[in-house]
Chains A and B, each alone.
Chain A
Amino acid sequence: MIRYVALKVGRAVFVVWAAFTVTFVLLFVLPANPVDLLFDPTELNSIPPEVRAQVAENYGFNKPVLLQYADRLGHALIGDFGNSVQSGRPVIAAILDVLPSTLILASAALVLATLIAFAIALVATATRRPWLRNLVEALPSGAVSVPVFLSGILILQVFSFQLGWFPSFGDNGVQSLILPLITLAVPVAGPIAQLLVRSFATEFGAGYVTTSWAKGATRGRIIVHDVFRNAGLPALTIAGVTFGNLIAGSVITETVFARRGLGRMTQTAINTLDVPLVAGIVVLVAVTFALINLTVDLIYPVLDPRLRASLTAGVS
């Protein structure tokens, strides 16, 4: 068991380290002169060489690459990613400012997406009417094929401008969270629902379900007591992987709904070539992603006794 946990934690640490290293190579090693990236391209030619040398000195670009790498890695370990070029604030502080708002949006969207997916799978499994099952099973692929910017604008048009139920932008309270939440959750719910519909159907045909029928159980009871837990396990894995999509999706959602957040910050950082900020964001997203998948890996043995058994057998 300890071995399993150590293995999974080790893998999470590796993912974060790899993300850091790749970012470092892309942003600081590959460009011919990383100093160029720090200035507005239109003003690049008008900058005197002394200033450039000064900047290179400040950022340590004149030191050997390996030393730079060790230096940055050392600082990153204590949460220091340098200062944002645009605002001059420490990167970590700038990110932590907007992070909660994105995390709330993404986590709530994940929960909503999972709920939608389970609802679709349950209805598709429980119904005896073929037309209803076909209709419900068609929903996931529909949800996947609508891009976020389109559904976002449609939802805005209907619920905000036409009906006036929710504010069209801003980030004040729960009211303003609802529309972006739905926009972000719907496309993510698609793949989870597709997986769940299939795994519910497979499990519903499994041998132990026949045993339950023979016990005298009713359809509803079988779905709730037998199928649900077995069929729900795969959703956990895909939910972990999907979280990455949610962060990516938040770039568009936060732009459409003009919300403060990591997504919008990333967009601005890339537009203004704020290299330290981009590097910080990439590493931070990697950390979140690794943490979520680590949690999923650690929850699995709790839910599946077979996995638990093979783990304890490994220790003895």
Chain B
Amino acid sequence: MSEPLLSIKDLSIDYRTGRSHTPAVERTSLNIEPGEFVSLVGESGSGKTTLIHGALGLLPAEARIRSGSIAYSDVDVTGWNDRKMALIRGNYVGFIPQDPNTSLNPVKKIGPQVIEAVRLNHPKSRNFLEAALESLRTAGLADAGRVFHQYPHELSGGMKQRALIAIALAGQPKIIVADEPTSALDVTVQKRILDHLVSLRERLGIGILLVTHDLGVALERSDRILVMQHGVIVEQGPVEEILRDAKSEYTRRLLAAAPSRHAGRLLPTSRVRVTEPEAQAEVLTADGLTKTYRLRGRARLTALGNAGLTVRQGTTHAIVGESGAGKSTLASILAGFTTADAGTVRLGDTELTGLRRGQLREIRRDLQFVFQNPFTSLDPRFTVRRLIAEPLTAFGLPAGDRVSELLAAVALDDSYLDRLPGQLSGGQRQRVAIARALALNPRILVLDEAVSALDVSVQAQILQLLVDLQAELGLSYVFVTHDLGVVRLIADDVTVMKDGAVLETGPVADVFADPRHEYTRQLLDAIPGARVARV
């Protein structure tokens, strides 16, 4: 066997914060052999991105390599400056960045951006144009000639990511490092991109280092997995070995938290459901909802076409779909934030459509909303106490002990009362957001992608909390998500949407076991780790 393509030994990286240094990566080693597909798995803040940026020499100015070495095929590049690293980057190691939407220069056409990558790495090459077209084709863009003359904003997310793969391939590297290449993409697109990366590995014999937060993705695709936590690699080995016998506690927890590895719905931890959902009355019904947005000029976008759903009391109804499916529009019409062009929404016996502002405000007591991003949905200058008391004061109710009660309900103690959102973790913030939504004793919560911004282990805790609260308070949820794995964990009923229309709706067990629509089947098939879970 030849030298490993990339060999990192005992690497430690610090960040300078004021006068002191905070370690981000601690004595980490890894090897990538030719033709090997290795995944580096970790949650946010685990140091995985710092580690690969260190390997590529892309660390920001405030980071420094304290000890250890980085070598590409026996060439030690530790401490090389930008000018020398430029010889390695592109040429020897290709990089696929995280977010395709910001990673291409918006004012240049795709072609010149790929040509630049060819020119920088093979200046003697005769035909830049042909080489660039070739690498676009290799990246899976069949219509390379057309894409060549397009600007990034004219391409879909998946096509942009393929263009970035083409740029990474253009220098004909021996190893490709991909940093969360699919986390900004829809699941079906994610599946195609990952399939393609695997095929490239087989076809070109290059090594691939995939950085991901999604253990399901890693288990399904890689030869070997490294699990990182707090800057240290806590587990490494072949996939089967990790599945069979994970050594570290953390890996076992990640495996347990991965949504795809659960067979059925989460159960409430201690309490039993107040009543069986089957017999329940309909608490929220929507029918024939249509919403059209007028674009610039005369163009129109139908965000929602004749969509409807029924939520039974004390149950969770999930709305699933990819970006642009209209699920968020539907949720915000249900919550009364957006008015529909046509159709009706009924809450119990009250019809919401056509209510005046004042009446709608009264309805808000019964129907609350939890937003996607806990980092932007809480006012950064409000304390937790004030955040949770806000709906109470808005309706002229005394806050008093209610705030502590609510905090306790979401499993936070009184020591959090005077903290600011900036002093909380993502999971804690979402708990505060849920506590705030519960303040007025609503019957229904509309949760718009409420767990998508969270790490899997935190996500699992929040889902468990939601299930417990439902059992305790008899709440009904409308749960909007793009993640079918989560649907299985929390929902009783599911509605699958695409392009503003409802494709199918029904109990989760029925839809998952026997999807009637081809698109539902595709979605189910694209859940990362689904294949592994079935083994």
Contact = CB atoms under 8 A, between A and B. Distances in A.
- Decide if A and B are genuine partners: yes
A214 B56 contact: yes
A206 B106 CA distance: 11
Given A216-B121, A315-B297, A316-B299, A206 B102 contact: yes
Nearest to B87: A216
Contacts of B235: none
A215 B121 contact: yes
B204 to A, nearest CB: 18
Nearest to B100: A207
Contacts of A206: 102
A219 interface: yes
Interface string B58-95: 10010000000000000000000011001111110011
B30 interface: no
Nearest to A214: B95
A211 B177 CA distance: 12
B117 interface: yes
Given A218-B82, A313-B295, A315-B297, A211 B104 contact: yes
A313 B153 CA distance: 13
A165 interface: no
Contacts of B153: 305-306, 309
B455 interface: no
A218 B86 contact: yes
A211 B297 contact: no
Contacts of B154: 309
A245 B296 CA distance: 34
B90 A208 contact: no
Nearest to B98: A207
B90 A216 contact: yes
B116 interface: yes
B295 A309 contact: no
Contacts of B95: 210-211, 214
Given A309-B151, A313-B297, A207 B99 contact: yes
A208 B121 contact: no
B89 A208 contact: no
A141 B503 CA distance: 59
Interface in A183-234: 206-208, 210-219, 225-226, 229-230
A313 B299 contact: yes
Nearest to B106: A306
Interface in A96-135: 130
B116 A213 contact: no
B106 A208 contact: yes
B90 A215 contact: yes
Contacts of B104: 207-208, 211
B107 A229 contact: yes
B167 interface: yes
A163 B220 CA distance: 77
B412 interface: no
A3 B88 CA distance: 50
B107 A303 contact: yes
B151 A213 contact: no
Contacts of B299: 313-314, 316
A225 B103 contact: no
Given A218-B83, A306-B106, A309-B154, A213 B295 contact: no
B79 to A, nearest CB: 15
Interface residues of A, number: 29
B107 A304 contact: yes
A306 B94 CA distance: 28
A175 interface: no
B97 interface: yes
A214 B106 contact: no
Interface residues of B, number: 38
Contacts of B90: 214-216
A144 to B, nearest CB: 27
Interface in B479-511: none
Contacts of A229: 107
B164 interface: yes
B423 interface: no
A216 B91 contact: yes
A133 to B, nearest CB: 10
B120 interface: yes
A218 B94 CA distance: 15
A208 B103 contact: yes
Contacts of A230: 105-107
Nearest to A227: B105
Interface string A291-305: 000000000000111
Contacts of B216: none
A310 B433 CA distance: 37
B72 to A, nearest CB: 13
B501 to A, nearest CB: 24
Contacts of B167: 211, 214-215
Contact of B58 (A208, A210, A225, A306): A210
Interface in B102-118: 102-107, 116-117
A213 B58 contact: yes
Contacts of A316: 297, 299
B168 interface: yes
Interface string A274-313: 0000000000000000000000000000011110011001
Given A225-B116, A306-B151, A216 B171 contact: yes
A156 B297 CA distance: 56
B164 A211 contact: yes
B371 to A, nearest CB: 25
A103 B425 CA distance: 57
Interface in B394-422: none
A316 B299 CA distance: 8
A229 B103 CA distance: 16
A207 B163 CA distance: 14
Contact of A207 (B83, B87, B91, B103): B103
B120 A214 contact: no
Given A207-B102, A214-B167, A216-B88, 10 more contacts: A130-B61, A211-B167, A212-B105, A213-B56, A216-B89, A216-B91, A216-B171, A217-B120, A225-B116, A314-B297
* Nearest 7 Cβ contacts at the A-B interface: A216-B90, A214-B95, A207-B102, A314-B297, A207-B103, A314-B296, A215-B117
27 contacts: A206-B102, A207-B99, A207-B102, A208-B105, A210-B95, A210-B103, A211-B97, A213-B89, A214-B58, A214-B95, A214-B168, A215-B90, A215-B117, A215-B120, A215-B171, A216-B86, A216-B89, A216-B91, A216-B121, A218-B83, A304-B107, A305-B151, A306-B151, A309-B151, A309-B153, A314-B297, A316-B297
Interface of A: 3, 130, 206-208, 210-219, 225-226, 229-230, 303-306, 309-310, 313-316
